[in-house]
Amino acid sequence: MTTTISNSIQLVYAGGTFGSYGRPLAPLSADVFLPTLQVLMLNHDSSAKLPCISWLDNSLIKDSSQLTPSNFIHFYQLLLTAYAQGDRRFVLITGTDTLSYLGAFLAEAFAGSDICVIVTGSMRPLLDSEVLQSYTIDTHSDAWDNLNHSLKLAAAGESGVKISFGGESWPAQTVQKIHSHDLMAFTGHSRAAYPANSYIKNLPDTRRQHWLDDQQSLLASIQARAESSSVHALYCLPNDTEIINNQLQALLSQPPSGIILLGFGAGNVPHSAALAETLELIHKKGHMVICASQCPFGGVSDSYAAGSWQYDHHVIAGGRLTIPAIYARLLWLLLRYDTPARRKQRWLNNVSQTGTSIKKR
């Protein structure tokens, strides 16, 4: 049976600064905020040129710093259900703390589809808390402009998951937060074919249904794994290698997980025989270790002996992927694939297509 494709934009409100109001600031409930936002949009000229806007009923509204893997799956399932019913264009409003993580995760999960998801938020609330007798737009806030820009992107309907902020937009897996309170809080880039996960511009109905069938058949197992899956980050500091070695040792007794090893510069990690041995043991236990750079730009390489040694001990280079993108890909692999070997194979296939892989010497 062919599903009727909708041209409307589905708006999802998930909380965050965008919907906060009052003294002190606190998030408004969906029952209060969404009708207020609907009235403001209906009365604003800029909304007249947009397609019909509908609202997806979302029960999960919380501070984004409190989001968990199971919460990420909640939004994935919410969008997947609407996508299966014929919706293609979505705008998701969330908090900025984990906005780049959630966006990158949805980009991983929806690769191979023709969905259009725009993730946005704001650094200042939409509503003016200096006006307590009525709900009015704060003209000094970035929220209204971010929402309008996101709605225009969704109206264009280009396949893929993007993050829209400060008048710019980027593929979700290239985005990171670079400022804790400035309105231009995020950055990313639009390098062609990066990252490797692709979306289909014109997806035939049969292929779309096959994609949906695959996703839906795995949904129950993905939800179950989300309850126990974890991704750890270990930060290299100018300490004795025993410190980082002890942190890795503590994970040996844990179920297979993702581990992000945040090295210096281009991925340099202090070497010791004990650390090399622990990396071998970590691999045998089924953990995936990805090396990333503490630098916000540039990624990792094997140019320096101080970093290249780890790739002989099953560490995988994160290439140019951001930390949120590495987290998202590790989490999706843990949820989507049932063995460490399949997860590693999938990672290497993805990264090699971007030309950023570092092969074992």
* Mean pLDDT of the residues in the chain: 90
Q: Is residue 4 part of a domain?
A: no
Please indicate, yes or no, whether residues 144 and 239 belong to a single structural domain of this protein: no
Q: Is residue 252 part of a domain?
A: yes
Which of the listed residues 180, 202, 222 is the one where a domain comes to its end? 222
pLDDT-based confidence at residue 134 (cuts at 50, 70, 90): confident
- The CATH number of the domain where 340 resides is what? 3.40.50.40
What pLDDT shows up at residue 196? Answer: 60
What pLDDT shows up at residue 194? Answer: 63
How many CB atoms sit inside 10 A of residue 145's CB? 17
Which of the listed residues 199, 222, 245 is the one where a domain comes to its end? 222
Residue type, 359: K
CB 91 within 8 A of CB 11: yes
Q: Would you state the structure tokens that stand for residue 333, as one six-digit string?
A: 């692999």
Checking if the pLDDT of 89 tops 60, the result is: yes
- Please state whether beta strands 26-27 and 20-21 pair in parallel, antiparallel, or not at all (unpaired): antiparallel
Enter the pTM of the model: 0.92
Query: Which whole-number Å values give the CA distances from 138 to 43, 135, 344, in the listed order?
Result: 15, 9, 48
**Domain extent for 250:** 230-353
Average pLDDT over residues 229-247: 96
pLDDT-based confidence at residue 197 (cuts at 50, 70, 90): low
Read off the pLDDT of residues 21-71 as tens digits, 9 standing for 90 and up.
988 888 888 888 989 998 888 877 655 566 788 889 999 998 899 999 999
Q: Is residue 358 part of a domain?
A: no
What pLDDT shows up at residue 24? Answer: 84
Please indicate, yes or no, whether residues 157 and 277 belong to a single structural domain of this protein: no
Contacts (Cβ under 8 Å, ≥6 apart) of 25 = 17, 125, 129
Please indicate, yes or no, whether residues 20 and 141 belong to a single structural domain of this protein: yes
CA atoms in the 13 A half-sphere facing the CB of 123? 15
